[in-house]
Amino acid sequence: MEFLQYLLPGQNQLHLENWSLDGSTRQLDLTVSATQITAPCPLCQTPSRKVHSRYERTLRDIACVEFSLTLLLQVRKFFCTNTTCHRRIFTERLPQITQPWARRTSRLAYQLLMIGLALGGRAGVRLSHHLGQKLSRNTLLNLLAKQSIPSVATVKTLGVDDFAFRKGQRYGTILVDLDKHRPVAMLPDREAATLAGWLEQHPEIQVLSRDRSRAYKQGMSEGAPQAIQVADRFHLLQNLTQVLERFLATQSNVLKAIDLAHYHALGKTQDPPSKPLTAQAQKAQQRRQQRLFNYEQVHKLRQHGFQVKDIAHHLGMGERTVFTYLASPEFPEWKPSPQRRSKPTILTPYKGYLLERWNAGQRQSKQLFQEIAQQGYTGTYKTVATYIHHLRQNQRQQLDNLEGRGPMPATRDAGQRPLTACRAVWLLLKGAKPQSTEDEALVLKLQQHPDLVVAIQLAQQFADLVRHRQPEQLDPWLERASSSSIKQFQNFAKSLQEDYEAVKAGVTLEVSNGQVEGQVNRLKMIKRQMYGRAGLALLSRRFLLAG
């Protein structure tokens, strides 16, 4: 009995009267009664000792050593001794044990609430069943729905970013206290008026961090004109990457020439292997010719004075595509989809050796397998044979492209990627990250090409001033970009001038939206955990209460 007394919630307020244990159903029942002598009236708070009657409440409690625990609580009803009170009879309250009319203890309700916040409905139910609690997903969701959104305390530094309820269709906004590292609110959309209305209720905000969104800029200017707006450095570098990639997309012939020269510089005597055009490739080539024809027609019609909407209607194109063609001094090649890097395998450290031995004349895959096995390779022979088969197929393709007989061409790894605009941007703007010798040579060729040197210098200079927070370099850079002959950087400099104060603060202050991006990732996990079916009410409670 004394041990069971310690299992009770609010040990000083309950007294254990009796207990029963059912081993077959794994059920432990404890009969308890309140120890308080008087009880206050819930209306007038007048204490009373006059007992009217008694009845029994059944409360489910947290499981104990795989046994379901139930409290049979003996509750008393009292007379209210205050003659002016409208309540004549009341039931004693035990707020530390349970709530009025509840069927479970407060500590069990808190445990279920924490499960619901962490896992949601169905996953929370599965875990609750393992913990000895039989309930439905609606029970957990109702517990969450009853929780009120916490009031927002004083916020001085606020981060703002958007998130997708449904990507490409409906978006919302999250607000994060950057000083306390906690989300404070979720807004149902990303409109300027909605953000301005929320900010007007919090005039104490001093610093606002955001991306380059015009809607957020307008909302902040209207709702918190006293606050300093800070353009996030990550988004500044992201905008720079997009600008440089758009420029390099117009220099596809230059990139191909640099890639070919780099391939020859590595000691190769033949051009990179090219495969015969498949039916799909032929269709792609026909589509490119059609796009090139449209590009030329757009410029011709524009020279004759046609408006953009008339050109789009005449050629059956979108107005946005017409604007893109007019803004490009050269035909913009179709940007290929980014190639995913193959994940390193157990054979990856030995591919260089296998490639070297293959070019030296060793063709026996079993012999190659034995050689790398002596060097520590622990994989299977099948993996090695598959890689040797790819090398053989690659070399046969090169032989098919040779005219007449000649020496066996050296092959290269089939996973070697071509130099695209996306890859060139990554090589040029990766910063101080270590690069291989081949990548360094490729970057040097890019930096020395006369058609690319101005754009690369502008891009690297802007990246340096953002990464190292050098605000004194911003104005000279804007002048160089505006006076350059590259349309993409002229437009980029113009957009930075329009948002000058926020950009200047972004490269001056330490404030950034990094925390907000992390909260967005956490919100995505919560959304996917509920299969994207949660509305704003449920999503905001799971996001804010567990933040």
Whole-number average pLDDT of the chain: 87
Whole domain around residue 392: which residue ranges? 348-401
Q: Identify the residue with better confidence: 392 or 426.
A: 426
- 187 domain-assigned: yes
pLDDT at 64: 86
CA distance 343 to 358: 23
On whether both 496 and 435 belong to a single domain, the answer is yes
Least confident of 197-206, 256-265, 289-298: 256-265
Are 30 and 15 within 8 A, CB to CB?
no
Total number of domains in the chain: 5
User: CATH number for the domain including 184?
Assistant: 3.30.420.10
375 & 440 share domain:
no
User: What is the full DSSP assignment across 281-349?
Assistant: HHHHHHHHHHHHHHHHHHHHHHHTT--HHHHHHHHT--HHHHHHHHH-SSPPPPPPPPPPPPPP-TTGG
Q: How many percent of the chain have pLDDT more than 90?
A: 51
pLDDT in tens, 395-418: 665 555 444 445 555 555 545 577
Bridge partners of residue 34, in order along the sequence: 14
**Is 338 a residue whose pLDDT tops 70?**
no
Let me know: does 6 contact 28? Beta carbons within 8 Å: no
User: Which of the four pLDDT bands, split at 50, 70 and 90, describes residue 520?
Assistant: very high
Is residue 74 located within the same domain as residue 26?
Answer: yes
Q: Are 175 and 160 in contact (CB under 8 A)?
A: yes
Helices (H), 201-278: 214-223, 233-249, 252-265
Query: Which of 119, 146, 173 is the last residue in one of the domains?
Result: 146
Q: Is residue 29 part of a domain?
A: yes
CA pair distance 197, 192, nearest whole angstrom: 9
Any domain includes 141: yes
Reference 184, options 146, 209, 162, 158; nearest CA is 158
The reply to whether 382 and 451 lie within a common domain is no
pLDDT, mean of residues 141-167:
89
Any domain includes 142: yes
**pTM for this model (two decimals):** 0.68
Predicted confidence at residue 274, as pLDDT, reads 55
242 lies in a domain? no
Same domain, yes or no: 24 and 95 = yes
Same domain, 488 and 534: no
Same domain assignment for residues 502 and 516: no
pLDDT at 317: 87
**Quick check: 145 and 541 in contact, CB under 8 A?**
yes
Percent of the residues in the chain that have a pLDDT greater than 70, as a whole number: 91
pLDDT in tens, 427-469: 999 876 767 787 888 888 898 889 899 999 999 999 999 999 9
* Distance of alpha carbon 547 from alpha carbon 543, whole angstroms: 6
Residue that is written with structure tokens 């209607």 in the block = 313
Average pLDDT on 324-343 reads: 71
The tokens describing 472, both together, are 């004194």
User: Is 114 part of any domain?
Assistant: yes
* Confidence at residue 401, expressed as pLDDT on a 0 to 100 scale: 47
Enumerate residues 6+ apart whose C-beta is below 8 A from 302: 311, 326
452 and 424, same structural domain? yes
User: Could you read off the pLDDT of 68-123 as tens digits, one per residue?
Assistant: 899 999 999 999 999 899 999 999 999 989 999 999 999 999 999 999 988 888 89
**pLDDT for 12 beyond 70:** yes
Element (H, E) at 174: strand 170-177
For position 335, what pLDDT does the model report?
62
pLDDT at residue 415, as a whole number: 52
Question: How do residues 347-400 score in pLDDT, each as one tens digit?
Answer: 988 988 998 888 888 888 999 999 999 999 999 999 999 888 888 877 665 555
CA distances from 67 to 5, 64, 114, 137, 415 (A): 16, 5, 21, 22, 59
Backbone φ and ψ for 422, nearest 5 degrees, come out as -65, -45
Average pLDDT estimate for 138-146: 89
Least confident of 19-23, 31-35, 242-246, 390-394: 390-394
pLDDT for 268: 54
CA–CA separation, 198 and 192 (whole Å): 10
Residues 61 and 93 both lie in one domain: yes
Which is higher by pLDDT, 355 or 216?
216
Kindly state whether residue 117 falls inside one of the protein's structural domains. yes
Nearest by Cα to 56 from 72, 35, 37: 72
Nearest to 365 by CA among 344, 341, 347: 347
Calpha distance 545→144 (Å, rounded): 9
Q: Are residues 395 and 442 in the same domain?
A: no
Q: What is the pLDDT of residue 281?
A: 72
- 317-326, 459-468, 498-507, 538-547: the lowest-pLDDT one: 538-547
Q: Are residues 92 and 130 in the same domain?
A: no
**Domain annotation covers residue 328:** no
- For 268-297, write each residue's pLDDT tens digit: 544 555 556 667 777 777 888 888 889 999
Identify whether residues 6 and 98 lie together within a single domain. yes
CA atoms within 13 A on the CB side of 103: 4
Burial 208-225 (b: 16+ CB within 10 A, else e): bbbbbbebbbebbeebbe
